[in-house]
């Protein structure tokens, strides 16, 4: 297939200082959860984007000095020459595919904890920014940066830039955003200095300008110098001559960097989930930059639509299409557009599971792309799988996320595949959950896979086809894969946190009831100890239907886990806007049909009575493995079966998030006969004698 001419503009080369990007697809700097400790994993993850056609591939945040230490979060570094070889792996991998490699030099100022190095924190005026979250709180305050500190600060950037050049990088960033590096000098509420680095905006910009000039001189115009800059906070600061100080800074610095990378000042805003932001939501914080500079501009927006990408360029918003999450979901997005296969793009759903991987200090995971993080250690490729035996037949039962992914993988491998779905629609839990408020993009998990498997000549799909164990045996398939899902239970934990008895009452509901359209009537209490999206989504759904909702959780926040995927603040804000009554740190003790008894998790005697009509239990799920049990029983008394193996995948094996189900389906599809299983490789530290 040929590229659609209306996308030609995306494949134009773009000059960035002394280097030229082969196209406008730009993987912006973002952490991969690999840090300095997993160089092979990191290089393979970046190389896959280059192979997929991204013109520029950047590192995540790269510390320039031990006084910028973000441990235990996984960051990379260029502290000394020994660190160069770690980066050479990535640069060589990216250059193999003729893409440019960039490095984001980073100093955290007081926006990092220095927990490992124990170096004192520093900031423009000794004003600590702090955090409300325990994992990010610092017990140590920052100190004022004197002239000696500033001189050393500039030199650290120079030293790191020289090392970056030695490693072979084409683009070298200075990071001036999110309270990092020189950004604190720009903000009038954090910069109270009365020397040449404080006061007027020209003074506050001075350090940023000096560092860029220092770095350019050090690398002798062989590398492009990029400035990563946060605009949203400074857009609120008035200027005497411009609309804001953000406008004025762009004007003052207009042609000093070779590239402007524009972003938000908050991590939770910059990487907000699709539940709360649309594609291109960053445009109001970006659209003023290009008219003020002749240098190329890049920004992100969770762009997955090539038409929106073209629109951004033609309307003069950006020159390069920045991406982090879309390049994780589909490393081959540019190549698919170039080959006229845009209908095969594995679109990011904006669930932010990738963000949670970084917070968990493990390689980034992706709901849409189960190979993410497995490129090196398992040799998994997002577009290619080893061929299987086309004479072998596989029956997949259930078309939820696990069943669809397994079917697609088996189909790609060439097996003769039959997919049986008991209901009239494909998608399983996805088809139901994507109708919840804010989750419409989740349908892409179903649509991407179902669209592809319906084109495969070796895959037969049967909807509205519930199967019994006897039916399965009669079909005479070589392998059987059960993806029958799980059901939410009405069980609530006992006083020791163990699974308690089922709460039996006609007015007790589960998420399955709500997803089937069976709604409660009257004031309703949601008891949420699942801690992810379901409880708050149901609260929003029912509140909009006019039901008074009380949400109770034993955690210290609504949907407490969602701190990990950057949704926690927005969920709490949404609950407040909807006037949902919230009780954190409480258990549901009892319900008699009219009154719910809540108990403090700290004090058994501290109880509350709430008059309500119904309760929704959002807690644990029970695997639906009854068909597996029936099949095993049937096979034990049958001698004629040709079934060679039986597999359970997804929620019917281990209930989890959709990302777990997709991964389970992919893993099974690759190893259905055991002949494609590759031993997992592990990164190992070098032992010095």
Element (H, E) at 509: strand 508-509
Strands 100-106 and 122-123: unpaired
Q: 617 by DSSP, 3-state: which?
A: strand
CA geometry: angle 309, 455, 379, nearest 5 deg = 70
- Give the tokens for residue 668: 């099974």
Element (H, E) at 166: helix 147-167
Q: pLDDT tens digits for 238-253?
A: 999 999 999 999 999 9
Element (H, E) at 595: strand 595-600
Per-residue pLDDT at 685: 81
Q: pLDDT tens digits for 416-470?
A: 999 999 999 999 999 999 999 999 999 999 999 999 999 999 999 999 999 999 9
Residues 6 or more apart whose CB falls under 8 angstroms from that of 120 comprise: 67, 114, 140, 142, 143
Query: CB of 104 within 8 A of CB of 228?
Result: yes
CA geometry: angle 337, 343, 346, nearest 5 deg = 85
List Cβ<8 Å contacts ≥24 apart for 454-461.
Answer: 456/411, 456/417, 458/390, 458/411, 458/414, 458/415, 458/416, 458/417, 459/407, 459/410, 459/411, 459/417, 459/418, 459/419, 460/417, 460/418, 460/419, 461/399, 461/419, 461/421, 461/426
Q: pLDDT tens digits for 563-620?
A: 999 999 999 999 999 999 999 999 998 898 899 999 999 987 888 999 999 999 999 9
Per-residue pLDDT at 497: 65
* pLDDT above 70 as % of the chain: 98
DSSP-based helix, strand, coil % in the chain, nearest 5: 35, 20, 50
Q: What is the largest CA-CA distance in the chain?
A: 89
Query: CB of 458 within 8 A of CB of 414?
Result: yes
From the list 5, 16, 50, 6, the residue with the least C-alpha distance to 334 is 50
Per-residue pLDDT at 210: 98
What is the rounded distance in angstroms from the CA atom of residue 218 to the CA atom of residue 212? 10
Beta-bridged to residue 549, according to DSSP, are 524
pLDDT band at 494 (very low <50, low <70, confident <90, very high): confident
From the list 164, 157, 68, the residue with the least C-alpha distance to 121 is 68
| pTM tops 0.85, yes or no | yes
DSSP letters of 626-670? HHHHHHHHHHHT-S-----EEEE-GGGTS---HHHHHHHHHHHHH
pLDDT surpassing 90 at residue 111: no
Query: CB of 321 within 8 A of CB of 303?
Result: yes
Q: pLDDT tens digits for 332-374?
A: 999 999 999 999 999 999 999 999 999 999 999 999 999 999 9
């Amino acid at each position: 297939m040929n590229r659609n001419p209306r996308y030609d503009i995306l494949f134009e080369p773009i000059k960035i200082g002394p280097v030229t990007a082969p196209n406008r697809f730009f993987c912006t700097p973002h952490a991969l959860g690999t840090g300095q400790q997993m160089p092979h994993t990191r290089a393979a993850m970046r190389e896959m984007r280059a192979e997929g056609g991204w013109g520029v591939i950047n590192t995540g945040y790269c510390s320039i000095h031990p006084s910028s230490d973000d441990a235990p979060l996984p960051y990379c570094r260029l502290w000394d020459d020994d660190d160069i070889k770690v980066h050479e792996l990535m640069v060589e991998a990216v250059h193999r595919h003729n893409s440019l490699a960039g490095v984001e030099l980073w100093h955290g100022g007081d926006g990092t904890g220095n927990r490992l190095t124990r170096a004192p924190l520093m900031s423009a005026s000794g004003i600590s920014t702090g955090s409300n979250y325990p994992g990010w709180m610092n017990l140590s305050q920052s100190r004022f940066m004197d002239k000696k500190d500033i001189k050393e600060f500039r030199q650290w950037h120079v030293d790191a830039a020289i090392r970056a050049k030695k490693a072979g990088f084409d683009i070298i960033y200075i990071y001036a955003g999110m309270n990092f590096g020189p950004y604190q000098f720009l903000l009038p509420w954090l910069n109270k200095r009365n020397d040449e680095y404080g006061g007027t905006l020209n003074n506050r910009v001075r350090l940023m300008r000096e560092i860029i000039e220092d770095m350019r001189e050090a690398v002798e115009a062989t590398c492009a110098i990029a400035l990563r800059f946060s605009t949203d906070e400074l857009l609120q600061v008035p200027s005497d001559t411009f609309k804001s100080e953000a406008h004025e800074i762009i004007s003052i610095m207009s042609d000093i960097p070779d590239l402007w990378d524009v972003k938000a000042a908050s991590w939770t805003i910059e990487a907000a989930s699709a539940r709360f932001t649309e594609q291109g939501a960053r445009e109001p914080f970006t659209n003023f930059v290009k008219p003020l500079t002749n240098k190329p501009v890049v920004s992100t927006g969770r762009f997955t639509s090539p038409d929106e990408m073209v629109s951004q360029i033609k309307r003069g918003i950006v020159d390069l299409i920045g991406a982090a999450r879309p390049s994780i979901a589909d490393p081959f997005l540019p190549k698919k557009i170039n080959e006229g296969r845009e209908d095969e793009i594995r679109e990011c759903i904006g669930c932010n599971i990738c963000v949670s991987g970084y917070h968990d200090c493990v390689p980034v995971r992706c709901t849409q792309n189960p190979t993410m993080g497995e490129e090196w250690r398992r040799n998994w490729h997002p577009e290619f799988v080893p061929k299987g035996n086309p004479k072998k037949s596989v029956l997949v039962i259930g078309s939820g996320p696990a069943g669809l992914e397994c079917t697609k993988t088996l189909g790609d491998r060439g097996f003769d595949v039959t997919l049986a779905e008991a209901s009239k629609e494909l998608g399983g839990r996805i088809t139901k959950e994507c109708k919840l408020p804010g989750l419409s993009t989740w349908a892409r998990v179903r649509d991407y896979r179902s669209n592809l498997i319906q084109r495969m000549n070796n895959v037969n799909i049967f909807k509205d086809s519930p199967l019994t164990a006897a039916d399965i045996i009669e079909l005479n398939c070589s392998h059987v894969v059960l993806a029958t899902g799980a059901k939410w239970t009405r069980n609530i934990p006992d006083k020791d946190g163990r699974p308690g008895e089922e709460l039996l009452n006609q007015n007790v509901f589960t998420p399955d009831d709500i997803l089937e359209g069976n709604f409660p009537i009257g004031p309703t209490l949601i008891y949420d100890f699942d801690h992810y999206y379901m409880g708050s989504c149901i609260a929003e759904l029912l509140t909009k239907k006019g039901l008074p909702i009380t949400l109770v959780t034993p955690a210290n926040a609504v949907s407490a886990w969602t701190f990990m995927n950057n949704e926690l603040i927005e969920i709490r804000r949404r609950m407040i806007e909807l006037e949902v009554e919230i009780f954190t740190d409480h258990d549901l003790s009892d319900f008699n049909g009219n009154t719910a008894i809540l108990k403090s998790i700290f004090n058994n005697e501290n109880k509350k009575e709430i008059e309500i009509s119904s309760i929704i239990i959002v807690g644990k799920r029970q695997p639906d493995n009854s068909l597996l049990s029936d099949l095993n029983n049937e096979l034990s008394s049958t001698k004629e079966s040709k079934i060679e193996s039986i597999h359970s995948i997804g929620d019917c094996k281990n209930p989890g998030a959709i990302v777990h189900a997709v991964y389970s389906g992919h893993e099974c599809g690759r190893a259905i006969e055991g002949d494609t299983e590759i031993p997992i490789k592990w990164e190992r530290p070098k032992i010095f004698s």
